[in-house]
Chain A
């Protein structure tokens, strides 16, 4: 085996290991294992038998195998960028929703506090009204 083949396959195994270590829910974990195994098989085949990739490239109308790989990588990167963008947008919207809810809740709380206080003040006044000026204590 060539050194480059060892390095490529080794780094794939490393990345696959890291991505599978963080277990989420069962369904998406199963899906991820499926994706990792099939992509891994593809990469291993391409790395171990470079001629195979070139013949596939020729078949679809691309000169060299490496070029075909480059094009595929470009598409994958574009997909990832769009995907990340959409996810970030969703996260931004969630943050906005949170901030809004917090602002409304805080104002609501303050509102009821002000109302309660003004009610208490009114109560105070009515209670004290009969004897606003209590007679000075004889000293």
Chain B
């Protein structure tokens, strides 16, 4: 059902990579589809009922027959979004319910001001705090931020937040090849290489027990660094 908000968001494509999120996916998609007319779910070879849940929603569903990692799923979604000529803004969002739909709207509003090519959600900015991240997670995020600032020169405060908005042109520069979590750094590197103007805005992130259990363990940050160095 097209709502007035749908009309305003006609040129926005929301890309949501999904891997085994059946538990929360329906609620997430209902919420996002109510705001955005084009929601692209990339099912990354889920073995649960995620794909059927996505198909039952109003989202467009692309399905990877094999699990290829979140970065690969985002890239697939971007490519589909860019095939549609009306798309002028692409938003990426996690599927585990940690991001709020109204924050996605704020990102779009921000990018529409026209002075930046990319808007990134940050857990570290402003009053939003880090949404109850545990100590270990906070330390790991800080480390990732320091490494990224050093390697890309971008003054970001949060590097692994899945909520982002890109202009069409910026999205078309993405060639994500790191299948696993290193794609977050890869996105920032692509932004740096293309001298994209970026802005960060504070977003709330709800770490439910569910998302925490799905999130990567801090040990994985070692793998991310090795992945990036080994290219």
Asked if chains A and B come from one complex, the reply is yes
**With A93-B177, A107-B80 as contacts: A99 and B62 at CB distance below 8 Å:** no
B51-94: CB near A (< 8 Å → 1, else 0) gives: 00000000011111110110010011001100100000000000
Which of B64, B79, B177 contacts A99, CB < 8 Å? B64
Tell me if A67 counts as interface (CB < 8 A to partner B). no
Classify the secondary structure of A's interface with B.
Answer: helix
Tell me if A103 counts as interface (CB < 8 A to partner B). yes
Contact A96 B68 (CB under 8 A): yes
Tell me if A95 counts as interface (CB < 8 A to partner B). yes
- Minimum CB–CB distance for A101 against chain B, Å: 9
Contact size class for A? Answer: 10 to 19
Tell me if B133 counts as interface (CB < 8 A to partner A). no
Measured between beta carbons, the chain A residues less than 8 angstroms from B66 are: 95, 99
Contact B65 A95 (CB under 8 A): no
- In the bound assembly, the distance between CA atoms of A99 and B179 in angstroms comes to 13
Q: A96-B179, A103-B42 are in contact. List 8 more A-B contacts (CB 8 A).
A: A96-B68, A96-B177, A100-B64, A100-B75, A104-B76, A104-B79, A104-B80, A104-B83
B residues lining the A interface (CB < 8 Å): 42, 60-66, 68-69, 72, 75-76, 79-80, 83, 177, 179
